[in-house]
Amino acid sequence: MKAGIIGLPKTGKTTIFNALTRGEQSTDKYAPPSLEANIGVVQVADERIDKLSELYKPKKTIYATIEFHDYPGIFYKESEVSENALLADIKNAEAFILVLRGFRDEELEGLFPLGTPIEQFQHFQEEMLLYDLIMAEKRLEKIELGYKRGVKTPAVQIEEKALLKIRDFLQNNNPLINLELNPEEEKAIRGFQFFSAKPMLILINCNEDNINAWDETLKTFTEKGYYAYTIAGKFEEELSKLENEEAQMFMEDMGISESIRDRLTHWTYQLMGYISFFTVGPDEVRAWTIEKGANAVTAAGKIHSDLARGFIRAECFQYDDLITYGSEKALKEKGLFRLEGKDYIVKDGDILSIRFNV
C-alpha cells in the first residue's frame, strides 16, 4: 500500500520520513522545495510473524510493507511552479498523513508563517476541497456539453448525479470521505481519485518537551472524526540514527513504547481498516494485508489472481490457537482446523491455505 506524507512547506515531513526510513534526505531550512517525492518502503512490524517464523523455520520470512511517499509542500499561497503534476501523483496514494507544524522556530516562522496547527489544517482543507470542487465542476461542464450534442447515456447520467451530490457536499465544506454514494455512483466517479475522499491521518509535529501541550488540539481533530497524534519529528529522526539499545534507553526516558516505524505503520493500518492474514510453510512465512470485512476469495486474490479464479476452499486456522496448542496436528485433533468457503469473512490472525483449481 502507498501512503502519502503531505502538508504545507517546512512542517517536518521529510524529517519524519527520515525517522521512518532511517533516511538522510535533506531537511535544510533554506533549501528550495524539491519537485519530487522521496520514497521509502517500511516493514509493518508484527510479533506474530516472528513467532511463526520460529515455528516453521521457513527459507523466507516476509512482512507486510507500506510504501511512504514524502511529498514537497503543497497548497502554500500562490506557488510559482505548477502543482498540477505533483497533485496528480499525490492523488494516487491510498492514504494521507498530514503533517502540521507544532514546533516553534522563529526563523521558519519568518520565512514560512503558517499559524497554529488548527489554522494550518483549516487552510489545507479549504485548498483540498477547492481542488476537488474544480475537478467536479470541470467534468460537469463537459457532461453538459455532451448533452447538448445529444450524448446522454445512462452511465453518464449516473455519473452526473454523483457529481452533483459531490459538488453540493464540497460547497458545504465537507470532505468527501463523509459522503455516502450508492455502489453505482461510487463506481462512476472512482477514476477521479478525489483528494478529500481518501482516509487522512493528522500528525502534529512538535518538540519532545511539549508533546502534552497539544491534547486540546488533538481533541478538536478527533471530534471531527480524524485519527490525530503528536510526534516529535526531529527527536525521532535523531533516535533513528542510534543503535537499537541506545534508542531504547532514550525512548524509555520519554515514555515512548514503540519506535516511530511501529507507531506510524500501526496507525496507518488502523486508518485504513486493514487486518493481516498469514500464509505459512517451509518455504515462506508471510503476512498479507486485507481490508476488514473482506472474504476468502478476496484474500486468495491478494496472493495470486489464479487462486481467486480457481478458488475451491480455504483451509484455515487461527494464529492464537496455533500458539496455544503448538502444532497444526494438535489443532486438527481439537477440531480447530477448518475448511471455509468463498463467503467466509477473513479475520485478523487467520492462517490460510487456498485450495484451488484452474
The residue (of 95 and 299) whose beta carbon lies closer to ligand GDP is 95
Q: Which is nearer to Mg ion, 4 or 175 (CB)?
A: 4
Spatial CA neighbour of 102 closest among 237, 223, 222, 202: 202
- Residues whose CB falls within 8 Å of the CB of residue 280, separated by 6 or more in sequence, listed in order: 52, 55, 56, 58, 286, 351
Residues that bind ligand GDP (CB under 6 A): 9-15, 27, 29, 73, 103, 105, 108, 205, 207, 232-234
Query: What's the rounded Cα separation, in Å, for the pair 8 and 72?
Result: 8
> Using CA atoms in the order 76, 81, 83, 85, what is the torsion angle rounded to 10 degrees?
-160
* Cell 488533538, located at residue: 218
Min separation Cβ 238 and ligand GDP, Å: 10
Between 73 and 175, name the residue whose CB sits nearer to ligand GDP. 73
In the complex with Mg ion, which residue's Cβ is closer, 111 or 323? 111
Nearer to ligand GDP (CB atom), residue 14 or residue 276: 14
Q: How many residues does the chain have?
A: 358
Q: Residues 11, 14, 268, 279: which binds Mg ion (CB under 5 A)?
A: 14
- Contact status: 205 vs Mg ion (CB under 5 A): no
Q: Which stretch binds Mg ion (CB under 5 A): 5-13, 223-231, 323-331, 341-349?
A: 5-13
- Nearest distance, CB of residue 319 and Mg ion, angstroms: 39
Q: Please choose which of Mg ion, ligand GDP, none residue 49 contacts, taking the beta carbon within 5 to 8 angstroms, the exact cut-off set by kind.
A: none
How many Å from the N-terminal Cα to the C-terminal Cα in the chain? 28
- What is the C-alpha separation between 18 and 234, in angstroms, rounded? 9
Q: How far apart are CA 155 and CA 260, in angstroms?
A: 46
CA distance 236 to 214: 18
Q: Which stretch binds Mg ion (CB under 5 A): 10-18, 211-219, 243-251, 266-274?
A: 10-18
> Least Å distance between CB 242 and ligand GDP?
17
